Structure formats: structure tokens, C-alpha cells
Amino acid sequence: MSVPFAIDLTLRRYDAQTRNAAGRTQAATSTTSTIRGTWQPANGEDVRRLFGGEYTGAVFEVITDTPLRATSVDGALPADVIERSGEAWQVRHVEDWTAAPMLGHWHAFVTRRAVSS
């Protein structure tokens, strides 16, 4: 099912981080693709629910047909990064709405990425 009002977004997905022989974490490799999704500011209720009202930066909601990923619980898989208008945004929370009747998509909440991508 396509998402109405979708725009092109760049998705950067990282592989699992690995460790070298010295036990140091190696930078994860990534793949880049173009996805379609909506981009809108998150509402105050979602910000309170997801971040406990503690986050004061910009939070946007992305709705897409493409499965997205936040950092895995064990930290082995880094979060996806979505680029829009030259800025990198990290996926912080994902909700799978693919089973919901008439929806069939993923909701992700993103915040500005702190480090250069």
C-alpha cells in the first residue's frame, strides 16, 4: 500500500558493528537507498510518550512502506539514518503498523543526528 503525500528520502542502513583483534569496535559499513515516505513534525503527545518530555530538539515522524530500524536492544545493530534536504536524522523509535487495516505501513520517529554521517 502506498503512503499518500510521500516524498523521496534517503535511507542509510548500517550493518552490525564488529570488533577487531584488539577488541576495538570497528565502524559499521552501510548501504544507501531511496525510500518514499511522509515527513511531518511529531505531535507533543508522541514526544511525551516516547521521550518522557525530556527531549527538547526537533522530532519528526516518518511514515513509510519500508521497514525501518532503531538501534537494537543490545546495541549491535545501529539505527537507520534518514537524510532529507542534506540533513541526517537518526531513527529513534519505530512502530509497526503493517497489520492495521487500511494502514499497512511503518511509523518512525527521528531526531537530528548528532555526528556527521
Tell me the domain boundaries of the chain.
Answer: 7-112
In CATH, the number for domain 7-112 is: 2.40.10.270
**Residue ranges of the chain whose pLDDT lies below 70:** 1, 53-56, 102, 114-117
In this structure, are residues 54 and 80 in contact, taking their beta carbons and an 8 Å threshold?
no
The pTM of this model reads 0.83
Write the pLDDT tens digit of every residue in 4-28.
789 999 999 998 877 788 888 777 7
Burial 23-62 (b: 16+ CB within 10 A, else e): eeeeeeeeeeeebebbbeebeeebbeebbeeeeeeebbbb
